Amino acid sequence: MIKSKTFKRLYKDYTSIFINKIILAAVFSILVALSTSATAWLLDPAIEKIFINKDQTLIILIPLAIIIAFSAKGISLYFAKLIMINVSEEVKKILQTDMLKSFIKADTEIIESKHSGKYVSNLNFDVHQITRMLSESFLSIFKDGLTLVGLLCVMFVQNWKLSLIAIIMIPLASITAKILGKRMNKISTQAQEKSGDLNRYLIDLFKNHKIIKIFQRENFEEGRSETFVNDFKEKSAKIAAVYIRSTPVMEILTGIMIAILIFYSGRLIISGELAINNFFSFLAAMMLAYQPVKTLAKVNIAISQGFAAAERILPIIDIKNEINLNEDKKKFNISKGNIIFDNVNFHYKSNPDNKVLQNVNLNFAGGKMTALVGHSGSGKSTLLNMIPRIYAPTAGSIHLDDQDISKFNLASLRSQISIVDQNTTLFDDTVLNNIKYARPEASNEEVFEAAKQSICNEFINNLENGYETMIGENGVKLSGGEKQRLSIARAFLKKSKIILLDEATSSLDSKTEEKIQKALDQLVMNKTTIVIAHRLSTILNSDKIYVVDSGKIIDSGRHEELLIQSKVYKNFYERQFKEH
Ligand SMILES: Nc1ncnc2c1ncn2[C@@H]1O[C@H](COP(=O)(O)OP(=O)(O)O)[C@@H](O)[C@H]1O
Ligand SMILES: [Mg+2]
């Protein structure tokens, strides 16, 4: 079913701005209709005046008129199509831009809730359906609708009785189209899903290509890839099959109708009620009407597909983010930089049963270094990501300098925070731009300085083009440790007052780490620093340590205190740190 809400929305936000062009296309459509009808109508005087009355002037004029009529038709058709193709490409651009904006701004949890391949499919497959609806279907409604009206007029002028018989076919054709349209809607949604699956698989395939080789799963993947491609092919083939299903129905209907018409018109001619010139003009009009009727019968199929796609796309464009940007709120300036977690609870929406954080109360002193230790999966990274509001507490609140962070301007909050994530992510861009990403206005000298501090300059200088080297998708051309150092360089460049380090040096060898450590010590001096620690040295340097266990804070204190007070910490320390 086509929902009027979707229709209004598509019109208001995406097509109304092109209304002038659409009107122009409509004008050309009127010309197409008029010229097509004229060609049919001209047969009447042609036969009467030339063949029957043997008129000498019209033998020149009528063929000329026919050339003009056909040329007018061809040229108008070209412009009508050209304009609508342009409009639909513009609409495509706006839709894709809106979707991309939505992706960029969407809450991390929303982005993580679906495989990226599905989103790729929305951006390509679905948008294409909508574009096609505009460039083909809507134009066809105008053009073929008007042409049909024009031709019907010619038919009625030539003989109304015959025309009445001919138009019986139109409702029959539209019933067929309606039934097919419903079926198409369903298959089209399935096809979209399969296209999404295929994209998802493709992305996984590229990401995991080494794993596939090492575990020798090529045959398995070949089998799987065949399934994905085949599933999509099945649905596409089904769409095509349903689409052409109207063809035999239409042909049979046409055959029956022509038979009836010959029978009936024969009787009219025999009884002298119908002249031969009128009959031929009528017949020409009817034949020309065949194509518009056929196209119009299929229009609603493509429109169903287009609307089904719109109903998948619009919710993406309309994503309601829970993490309010608070753009209207005042900018926040850090004074002390104290961060307090007040009874914070959190679970991921995708898995509400996993209580990732439970009644977390923390106090990160401003200008000091606090460490979080705990087993993997205990919730440390999640906790850290809540400070720049990547995730929002499901209960409780987080305060910075005694103010609830959910209440102030998000951009100003994030501008004060650097985070070196556990998983380094990089753009397929140059080394320079990857570091600069943290502060685009920084000068190249500042970037070089940051790179030097994070011990990046050695390996950067060895790259083929130095700072201008493209590093490949997510930095494939770099080692894990090199990527991590680029990520640390970003933190050096940003120079923010709050620094969050999530196992920031875990991929580095101890020698490189030692070198970085000195610079890091400088960086974090007098800044609110929270480190998720994996090395003893970090812990010994920390002013305070929190022990996280299954989403709860179970102990806190300095290293020496915890060794005595906390069994969990002692145990953890002995297993994790002692050997280092
Ligand atoms: N994006 C996510 N969606 C759902 N669950 C997640 C997500 N990220 C982490 N988790 C779950 O949250 C828990 C805490 O994870 P995390 O904060 O990464 O722990 P840590 O950093 O201490 O190893 C784990 O049980 C993990 O399975
Ligand atoms: Mg982690």
Strand order in the sheet with 544-549: 417-420, 498-502, 528-532, 369-373, 544-549, 552-557
30 belongs to a structural domain: yes
Q: Which domain does 395 fall in, by range?
A: 329-415+521-580
CATH classification of the domain holding 30: 1.20.1560.10
Is there an atom of ligand 1 within 6 Å of 348 CB? yes
Is there an atom of ligand 1 within 6 Å of 113 CB? no
CA–CA dist 232, 237 (Å, integer): 8
Which residue has a Cα nearest atom 4 of ligand 1? 348
pLDDT surpasses 60 at 313? yes
543 belongs to a structural domain: yes
* pLDDT confidence of residue 333: 84
Which helix (H) or strand (E) segment is 156 a member of?
helix 139-158
CATH classification of the domain holding 454: 3.40.50.300
Query: Between the CA of residue 486 and those of 384, 420, 463, 489, what are the distances in Å?
Result: 20, 10, 14, 5
* pLDDT confidence of residue 96: 96
Is there an atom of ligand 1 within 6 Å of 385 CB? no
* pLDDT confidence of residue 302: 85
- CA of 374, closest atom in ligand 1: 22
pLDDT tens, position by position, 232-289: 999 999 988 887 877 787 778 778 878 888 898 899 999 998 999 999 999 999 889 8
Last residue of a domain, one of 317, 352, 372: 317
Which bin fits 478, alpha (ψ -120 to 50), beta or left (φ > 0)?
beta
226 belongs to a structural domain: no
pLDDT surpasses 80 at 356? yes
* pLDDT confidence of residue 171: 73
Q: For residue 406, which of 418, 389, 385, 381 has the smallest C-alpha distance? A: 389
Of the ligands numbered here, which is closest to the C-alpha atom of 113?
1
Residues 83, 163, single domain; the answer is yes
* pLDDT confidence of residue 128: 93
Residue of 476 and 87 predicted with greater confidence: 87
205 belongs to a structural domain: no
Residues 6 or more apart in contact with residue 165 via CB below 8 angstroms:
257, 260, 261, 264
Torsion of CA 374, 379, 383, 386, to 10 degrees: 160
Query: Between the CA of residue 400 and those of 342, 406, 416, 417, 501, what are the distances in Å?
Result: 11, 10, 11, 12, 18
Residues 374, 445, single domain; the answer is no
* pLDDT confidence of residue 19: 94
Which helix (H) or strand (E) segment is 553 a member of?
strand 552-557
CA–CA dist 530, 373 (Å, integer): 11
pLDDT surpasses 90 at 516? no
87 belongs to a structural domain: yes
Residues 576, 564, single domain; the answer is yes
* pLDDT confidence of residue 535: 80
Residues 361, 402, single domain; the answer is yes
**345 C-alpha vs ligand 1 centroid, how far in Å?**
14
pLDDT tens, position by position, 10-40: 899 999 999 999 999 999 999 999 999 999 9
486 residue type, one letter: L
pLDDT surpasses 90 at 383? yes
Residue of 261 and 372 predicted with greater confidence: 372
Q: Ligand 1 pocket test: which of 108, 345, 346, 348 has the largest number of ligand atoms within 8 Å of its C-beta?
A: 348
Sign for the pseudo-dihedral over CA of 301, 305, 310, 312: positive
Last residue of a domain, one of 295, 317, 339: 317
CA–CA dist 558, 541 (Å, integer): 9
For residues 366-372, average pLDDT: 93
DSSP letters for 386-419? TTTTSS--SEEEEEETTEEGGGS-HHHHHTTEEE
Residues 154, 175, single domain; the answer is yes
- CA of 375, closest atom in ligand 1: 22
- Helix, strand counts (H, E) of the chain: 23, 10
pLDDT tens, position by position, 525-542: 889 999 998 788 888 889
* pLDDT confidence of residue 571: 86
Residues 248, 389, single domain; the answer is no
269 residue type, one letter: I
Query: Which structure tokens are listed for 558?
Result: 């300095």
**404 C-alpha vs ligand 1 centroid, how far in Å?**
24
Which residue has a Cα nearest atom 18 of ligand 1? 381
Which residue has a Cα nearest atom 20 of ligand 1? 377
505 belongs to a structural domain: no
Residues 146, 97, single domain; the answer is yes
57 belongs to a structural domain: yes
For residues 491-515, average pLDDT: 88
CA atoms within 13 A on the CB side of 304: 22
Residues 481, 336, single domain; the answer is no
**Do 569 and 555 form a contact (C-beta atoms < 8 A)?**
yes
230 belongs to a structural domain: no
Is there an atom of ligand 1 within 6 Å of 381 CB? yes
Torsion of CA 440, 444, 445, 446, to 10 degrees: 20
What is the CA 23 to chain-centroid distance, rounded?
30
Binned at pLDDT 50, 70 and 90, residue 84 comes out as very high
**Do 497 and 524 form a contact (C-beta atoms < 8 A)?**
no
Which residue has a Cα nearest atom 27 of ligand 1? 377
Which helix (H) or strand (E) segment is 341 a member of?
strand 339-346
Residues 303, 371, single domain; the answer is no
Binned at pLDDT 50, 70 and 90, residue 578 comes out as low
Domain count, the chain: 3
Residues 6 or more apart in contact with residue 128 via CB below 8 angstroms:
92
**245 C-alpha vs ligand 1 centroid, how far in Å?**
51
For residues 450-479, average pLDDT: 91
For residues 217-229, average pLDDT: 94
**395 C-alpha vs ligand 2 centroid, how far in Å?**
21
Q: What is the average pLDDT score of the chain?
A: 90
Q: Which residue has the tokens 């020798």?
A: 216
Residues 422, 561, single domain; the answer is no
**559 C-alpha vs ligand 2 centroid, how far in Å?**
21
CA–CA dist 310, 299 (Å, integer): 16
* pLDDT confidence of residue 400: 94
Residues 363, 486, single domain; the answer is no
pLDDT tens, position by position, 167-211: 876 677 667 777 777 787 788 888 888 988 999 999 999 989 989
- CA of 383, closest atom in ligand 1: 17
For residues 338-356, average pLDDT: 94
Of the ligands numbered here, which is closest to the C-alpha atom of 383?
1
pLDDT tens, position by position, 318-340: 999 988 888 888 888 888 899 99
* pLDDT confidence of residue 579: 57
* pLDDT confidence of residue 467: 94
* pLDDT confidence of residue 576: 76
For the question of whether the overall pTM of this predicted structure is more than 0.75, the answer is yes
Question: Percentage of residues in the chain with pLDDT exceeding 90?
Answer: 58
For residues 548-575, average pLDDT: 90
CA–CA dist 483, 543 (Å, integer): 29
Of the ligands numbered here, which is closest to the C-alpha atom of 379?
1
